[in-house]
Structure 1
Amino acid sequence: MELFLIIALTHFMALLSPGPDFFLIITTLLRKGKKSAHWVCIGIALGNALILIAILSSLFLLEKINVDLLKYIQIGGAIYLIYLAYLCFMYAKTPIEFDIKSVQNVQQSHLVFSNIRMGLQSSLLNPKNIMFYSSLIILIDQDFNTVQKVLLSTWMISIVLIWNLLVLKLISHKKWMNWLKAKSQWLYYISSGCFLFFAMILIFA
């Protein structure tokens, strides 16, 4: 029980620290609307699930985590973050009027998969997620059996999804949306800078 509380606290503290996923949710909300951001949250949770499945499978089959794979993901993550920084920079230079009805119509037609994919890529190409979950799984490897590891992983994925949806609900409130729209250009620039900052950390870490 004590180990679980430590993991729960560590996981919660990790959620509190804004990362690429957080800025992706904000920029999607501003650019495409709440429904699109909702699907991004689902994609992020799905990415976390795939990471945990890969880690658990690696430990079960190889009894170790592939370090070389982490390096490739780190490089891929840096490239993807630079790409997101470029998109945000272009969004800031060419702001658009936010039309909620238009966004909803586009969302219903063909952008669901695209938004899930963006969240999935953000999660899978974020080495912070892989290193964080790897550390936790290694920590509990000797004390938890397979069923307990699966249950803990499911719990962590659920918390990620609930937390991101809660954050989305809070920032999509009318009062906050009016503020976000008024400051959208600067938020795009800030998000672009943050994505570049995260990318530089990956490149020079």
Structure 2
Amino acid sequence: MIDTTAFSWVEFFSIAVIHFFAVASPGPDFAVVLKQCIQQGRAAAISTSVGISCGILLHVTYSLVGIGLIIKTTPWLLNILLYLAAAYLAWIGVSALRSQAHGQTQVSTTAGKPKSLTKSFMLGFITNGLNPKATLFFLSVFTVAISSDTLLAHQMIYGLYMAIATAAWFVFLSFIISHKRVRAFYELNGYIFDRTMGVVLIVMAIFLILNS
């Protein structure tokens, strides 16, 4: 008899890889952390990073509740959701593949009026938490990678991991992007992360359709 309570490291690894490419790709979250680091300082950027991670928890909660309701009440809607998720993943994957290299942009190094850490936190939370595309992305990821037999407690562990990993990533960036040379290199080569994530998302979409 299969032990359904065993933690699936395969699922966890899949979630971790997908999340890594998503969080490492330059986007609004990276932009706001960069802005905070340059204009408000490292402490503000770290506080913003924590706010972003809390926004991740908000998306994870929506995703878990939505998937649970679909599975328990109207399972046939899951197939519709799967195709919508595949279409969405393919769309953002293709969009990411179109990412182009761009030249260095001039960023003002003039520090603005310092904000409180609470305001910096809320900036990160609002930037990530109120992004509807992020909600749909996390719902799609959970639908693709997580089995309907996976315990809710394990799904919560996945979500908590993504929130902690997100915070760790942006806190790490807060320490390095204040250096001009590193920031310039990242801006010039950010398209590489976009294109890599695009390939991963398109593969996910194809896998989802073939196994639906």
2:13 paired residue number: 5
Over the residues paired in the alignment, what is the CA RMSD in angstroms?
A: 2.9
1:70 paired residue number: none
Q: What CA distance in whole angstroms lies between the structure 2 residues aligned with 1:97 and 1:146?
A: 47
Shift of 1:17: 1.0
Residue 35 of structure 2 aligns to a residue in which SS?
helix
Match among 94, 98, 102 for residue 111 of structure 2? 98
CA contact (8 A) 2:176 2:182 kept: no
Q: What letter corresponds to residue 64 of structure 2 in structure 1?
A: L
* Residues 140-149 or 39-48, more deviating: 140-149
Matched, 1:116 2:121: yes
2:38 paired residue number: 30
Residue 165 of structure 2 aligns to a residue in which SS?
helix
Shift of 1:177: 4.9
CA contact (8 A) 2:62 2:135 kept: no
TM-score by length of 1: 0.60
- Structure with the bigger percentage of helix: 1
1:52 paired residue number: 60
Match among 9, 14, 26 for residue 18 of structure 1? 26
CA contact (8 A) 2:53 2:167 kept: yes
How many residue pairs match? The answer is 145
Q: What CA distance in whole angstroms lies between the structure 1 residues aligned with 2:69 and 2:118?
A: 32
Residue 58 of structure 2 aligns to a residue in which SS?
helix
Say if 1:166 and 1:49 are closer, same or farther in 2 by CA, change over 3 A.
Answer: same
Q: What CA distance in whole angstroms lies between the structure 1 residues aligned with 2:169 and 2:10?
A: 23
2:132 paired residue number: 127
Unaligned runs of 5+ in 2: 1-8, 72-76, 82-105, 188-212
Say if 1:58 and 1:170 are closer, same or farther in 2 by CA, change over 3 A.
Answer: same
Q: What CA distance in whole angstroms lies between the structure 1 residues aligned with 2:54 and 2:168?
A: 13
Shift of 1:30: 1.4
Residue 111 of structure 2 aligns to a residue in which SS?
coil
Shift of 1:61: 4.2
TM-score by length of 2: 0.59
